[in-house]
């Protein structure tokens, strides 16, 4: 009995002395070995005296569902990986707390949001093998017999981004576009990782990804064989954001991380691990190879409010077209 008491006391002491843990929910590709997670974890832990734990929780939109499922009980202190198509719905949950980050962002749009801090951005695009005679518009794609892999808009931010892309480009004509695209859709995956994996395995001609994806193959693999198709309609913009949860038990640490997120130490890792444009261009500028990427003629983006209002309608149209 005595030993048990001593043991309990020791354990309790150890728990008290433990370093604080900052838990961040993010999407799967962020935490993978080749993603930004490991480098960022190392960099932040050097300064914070804490244990930073990334938890991969599916893709961006499923992240939000998981938070709603867990509610205020969630272990998460920060969520990293939502985008502007989801921020309005996320704010509505009341689960998030305002931030105090002040930075001069290098985004293609003005940024003023008291809850969400952007950390990178990019344009959605269909990625294909460079030797493919790629379509130049959605209509062109619909007329081809090319097979594409896309992501489910209910679980994935690229999937939702594609809905908004078609909606922003075609408005009320969007259902017709989806009808004509439905026979080009090979399959719909839960998240970006699954879709990109299918494409790399050779299962499809094109995959919904980003204009920056070919940079990965070019820089990391010295393989110039991938390209992004430039679409005449313009390309939809994605701004990826992070925010602190109101119920966090590491509020100060979370603030510290959000501030760290817009510094060079974080931002310089982004282009060659997350393969997106950094939200604040680091001192050294963009890595070589990024200048070869497709520059969209026109950037499309719906405001967070418009995106939230259009989501259900667009989702119903999409489901309707693809379930036939």
Partner 1 sequence: MAWRALQLSRWPGALAVIAALALVLVALGAVILRAEPGRGLGPADWAAIRFTVVQAALSALISAGLAVPLARALARRDFPGRRWLITLLGAPFLLPVIVAVMGLLAIFGRNGWVNTALAATGLEPVSIYGIQGVVLAHVFFNVPLATRLLLQGWQDIPAEEFRLAAQLRFTKRDLFRHLELPMLSRVLPGAAGLVFVICLTSFAVALILGGGPRATTIELAIYQAFRFEFDLGRAALLSLVQIVVALGACLALFRLLPLHDPGQGLDRVVARWDRSAWDMPVILLGAAFLLLPMLAVLGQGASGLFSMPDAVWWATLRSLIVALSSAALLMLLALPIATLSLRHNAVEAIGFLGLATSPLMIGTGLFIVIFPIADPQAMALLVTVIVNAVMALPFALRILVPGLRQAVDAHGRLAASLGLRGARLWRIVLLPRLRRPLGFALGLGAALSMGDLGVIALFADPARGTLPLQIEQLLAAYRVEAAASASLLLTLCSFSLFWVFDHWGRRGA
- Footprint on this chain of partner 1 (rule: CB under 8 A): 28, 32, 55-58, 61-62, 64-66, 68-71, 73, 152, 154-155, 185-191, 193-194, 197, 201-203, 316, 318-320, 322-324
Judge whether 72 and 226 are in contact, CB under 8 Å. no
Q: Quickly tell me which residue has 């569902």 as its tokens.
A: 65
The minimum distance between CB 120 and partner 1, in angstroms, equals: 22
Tell me whether residue 150 or residue 293 sits nearer to partner 1 (CB atom).
Answer: 150
Q: Which is nearer to partner 1, 164 or 300 (CB)?
A: 164
| Contact criterion met (CB below 8 Å) for 130 and 224 | yes
Q: Which of 241, 237, 192, 276 is nearest to 79 (CA)?
A: 241
Tokens of 1: 């009995």
Q: How far is the CB of 76 from partner 1 (least distance, A)?
A: 11
Would you say 198 or 286 has its CB closer to partner 1?
Answer: 198
Q: Which is nearer to partner 1, 58 or 135 (CB)?
A: 58
Residues 235/211, Cβ–Cβ less than 8 Å: yes
Nearest approach, Cβ of residue 175 and partner 1 (Å): 11
d(C-alpha 202, C-alpha 146), whole Å: 13
Contacts of 179 (CB under 8 A, 6+ apart): 321
**Please, what is the minimum distance in Å from the beta carbon of residue 207 to partner 1?**
13
Q: Quick one: 57 or 230, whose CB is closer to partner 1? A: 57
Least separation in angstroms between CB 183 and partner 1: 10
Please report the sign of the dihedral spanned by the C-alpha atoms of residue 39, residue 42, residue 43, residue 44: positive
- Residue tagged 């890595």 (tokens): 287
Q: Which is nearer to partner 1, 154 or 226 (CB)?
A: 154
- Find how far residue 58's CA is from the centre of its chain: 11
For the CB of residue 245, give the shortest distance to partner 1 in the complex, in Å.
Answer: 16
């Amino acid at each position: 009995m005595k030993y048990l008491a001593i043991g309990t006391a020791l354990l309790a002491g150890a728990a008290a002395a433990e370093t604080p843990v900052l838990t961040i929910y993010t999407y799967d590709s962020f935490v993978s070995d080749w993603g930004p997670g490991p480098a960022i974890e190392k960099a932040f832990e050097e300064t914070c005296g804490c244990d930073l734990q990334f938890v991969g929780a599916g893709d961006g939109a499923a992240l939000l569902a998981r938070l709603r499922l867990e509610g205020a009980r969630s272990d998460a202190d920060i969520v990293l990986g939502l985008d502007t198509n989801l921020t309005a719905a996320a704010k509505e949950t009341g689960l998030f707390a305002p931030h105090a980050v002040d930075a001069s962002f290098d985004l293609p749009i003005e940024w003023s949001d008291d809850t969400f801090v952007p950390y990178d951005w990019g344009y959605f695009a269909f990625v294909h093998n460079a030797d493919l005679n790629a379509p130049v518009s959605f209509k062109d794609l619909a007329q081809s017999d090319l097979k594409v892999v896309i992501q489910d808009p209910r679980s994935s931010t690229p999937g939702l981004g594609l809905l908004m892309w078609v909606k922003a480009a075609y408005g009320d004509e969007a259902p017709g576009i989806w009808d004509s695209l439905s026979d080009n859709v090979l399959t719909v995956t839960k998240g970006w990782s699954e879709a990109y994996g299918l494409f790399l395995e050779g299962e499809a001609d094109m995959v919904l990804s980003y204009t920056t994806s070919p940079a990965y193959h070019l820089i990391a693999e010295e393989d110039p064989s991938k390209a992004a198709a430039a679409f005449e309609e313009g390309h939809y913009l994605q701004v990826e954001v992070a925010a602190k949860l109101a119920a966090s038990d590491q509020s100060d640490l979370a603030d510290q991380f959000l501030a760290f997120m817009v510094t060079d130490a974080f931002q310089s890792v982004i282009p060659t691990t997350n393969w997106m444009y950094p939200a604040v261009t680091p001192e050294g500028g963009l890595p070589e190879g990024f200048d070869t990427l497709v520059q969209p003629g026109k950037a499309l983006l719906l405001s967070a409010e418009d995106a939230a209002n259009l989501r259900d309608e667009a989702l119903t149209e999409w489901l309707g077209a693809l379930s036939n």
